[in-house]
Amino acid sequence: MGKGISFGQFYPGESFLHKMDPRIKIILAIAYIVTVFLCQTFYSYLAIFLFLISLILVSQVPLKSVLKSIKGILYLVLLTAVINILFFKEGRVLLNFWIVTITLDGLFFSAKMALRLIFLVMGTTLVTLTTTPMSLTDGMESLMSPLKAVKFPVHDVAIIMNIALRFIPSLMEEIDKIMMAQKARGAAFDTGGLIARAKALLPVLIPLFVSAFRRADELALALDARCYNATDKRTKMKVLKIGYRDLIGSLAMAAVMAGIILMRVFLTGV
């Protein structure tokens, strides 16, 4: 289970994306999300797909590692597609049986929503794969620094998000260990109906919560033993600097966004 989750994990490398400033990557990730939501036609989704493939090639991250992120949302994608097919009533009717009506436009709309979810997850996963959790924390803290004027605990929030990202792979590994231990004792997670499978997960959830609280307590003790306190006087080992890579990345994202906007304005239909 945990082996199929890539979100929150870092893939070491020295690629163009790895060396970009984390602040710029966070901003560009937000711009990418907005751009995906601006897509309306399949031509625009094709443009996003080509852009995403280009990013994966530039990052030198194995395609398999990026595709693992889709596994975690596969059921959500399928559920979203089915709901859109059943409740989208506009367009030429392909099937009309009892209360079920399937239209051609409904199929197109559900396909677009599925692609949107997949592209969103793959794009954001690529950011975590090419950025260390500490760099992400420094980037988020730097971007939120103006909020210090209103006494917002910027550093505390950044540290919390960093710890949360670091805990994702650890918790996934812990789930694998617990499930393997339960299977060795005769537990079955892949048999029976939906309710039976849900009940079978209860012996996994309880030790998982115990392990999570134990890890959190150990982390708190470790921070306290090192006299850690979130103050403004803390210094950074690595000072963030914006370079030419960030400018090139920003221009590329701006070009893609402009292209998608033009497609949205001038292209209609599928």
The pTM for the full model equals 0.81
Residue 201 maps to a domain:
yes
Q: Is 187 helix (H, G, I), strand (E, B) or coil?
A: coil
Cα gap 61→79, rounded to integer Å:
29
Here the tokens at position 189 are: 């997670």
Residues 128 and 176 placed together within one structural domain of the fold: no
Q: Which domain holds residue 172?
A: 154-229
Query: Hey, what are 178's tokens?
Result: 């617990």
Within a domain: 105: yes
Q: How far apart are CA 29 and CA 249, in angstroms?
A: 11
Q: Cα separations (Å) of 131 from 27, 95, 158, 208, 251?
A: 13, 47, 15, 27, 20
Going residue by residue through the chain, which has 270 residues, state the pLDDT in tens, using 9 for 90 and above.
445 555 567 888 899 999 999 999 999 999 999 999 999 888 999 999 999 999 999 999 998 888 888 887 888 888 888 888 888 878 787 877 777 788 888 888 888 999 999 999 999 999 989 988 888 888 888 888 888 888 888 888 888 887 887 777 778 788 888 888 888 877 777 776 667 777 777 778 888 888 888 888 888 888 888 777 755 566 777 778 889 999 999 999 999 999 999 998 887 666
Residue 144 lies in a domain: no
Q: Do 80 and 118 belong to one domain?
A: yes
- 119 lies in the same domain as 200: no
Q: Does any domain span residue 142?
A: no
Nearest partner of 255 among 91, 116, 50, judged by Cα: 50
Same domain membership, residue 75 and residue 55 = yes
